[in-house]
Amino acid sequence: MISAGIVGGTGYTGVELLRILSLHPEVEVTKVTSRSDDGKRVDALYPSLRGLCNAVFSIPDVENLADCDVVFFATPNGTAMLMAEQLLARGVKVIDLSADFRLKDAKEWQHWYGMEHACPDLIQEAVYGLPEVNREAIKKTNLLACPGCYPTAVQLGFLPLIENGLIDVQHLIADVKSGVSGAGRKAELATLMSETGESFKAYAVAGHRHLPEIKQGLALAAQQAVGLTFVPHLLPMIRGIHATLYAPLQTESKLAEIQNLFEVRYAQEHFVDVLPLGSHPDTRNVRGSNNCQIALFQPQGENTLVILSVIDNLVKGAAGQAVQNMNLMFGFAENEGLHTVALYP
């Protein structure tokens, strides 16, 4: 049994971590931080956790968290980097769900996130937590950078094609839609129900913060720079990401052959499900689960392959993937605590 702390226990990803970890047989959540709710019982704020979590909210403080085996940062960008070095020095493993350690170039990070990085020396030490790519490195690290939700769905869709040199990596398109919970739990005009309900829009078309993260991962797989047009959209729903990916084929490949390639690539993965040909993945079929479902199409039999990839942005796109990484870091079964069937309807 290990002890876990959660910094930022009142945001959507923090609460999702509590939901998952409260039923994990190898974990006890001992510290949950919130400046505004300091001293309150966690289950008083979230009655769904009554009988499952006895923790009390406390101030985020290194000394308070130092007796944890692992600390999750479910915080805004720029928070984890202020505490990670001190926690690591005390032997605490750190799993950051924000973007503080995802990008390997500190100057690029500063460009996209608008602040100077507090501990650039740790960036190279951090392991990018996409288990389907970095499993062995994840097992050995003490500092884990959990991928973003958009990058998870997009990379899992493109990777088998890039790894096998089947597509033109200079002309990739990712047309991706997200539920409003991806914007976080804050009062903001753009995410009010009266603003998002019965509406649909693209945003950050000129450049989204997840773009360099996606390009970094795809470039590592391709062993060269990639060209990617990434356009995110906001859907009038709470959870879910639907990525429609377009990739020009470089060789004459039959769809059945590519389907087999995907099935073989993900055959041993607990949380990637390649659907039968002709299927259309639906976000409701992964809602609340750590699963990614993928389907392939080759419209009119021409040379553009369309990949459909869906995840729950709060689970495989955040808290669930963080727990999957934690399992690897501590030698637990990779799917421990994540045996959840998607909610339907």
> What tens digit of pLDDT does each residue of 255-293 get?
999 999 999 999 999 999 999 999 999 999 999 999 999
Identified catalytic residue from 53, 68, 146, 149: 149
* Domains of the chain: residue spans and CATH: 2-125 (3.40.50.720), 149-313 (3.30.360.10)
- Indicate if 68 belongs to the active site: no
Helix pair angle (131-140, 320-330), 10° resolution: 40
Cα angle for residues 181, 97, 19 (degrees, 5° grid): 65
Question: What is the reported pTM?
Answer: 0.96
Cα angle for residues 157, 133, 270 (degrees, 5° grid): 75
Cβ–Cβ under 8 Å, residues 129 and 95: yes
DSSP state of 56: B
Question: Phi and psi (nearest 5°) for 245?
Answer: -110, 140
Which residues, given as ranges, of the chain have pLDDT below 70?
184-187, 190
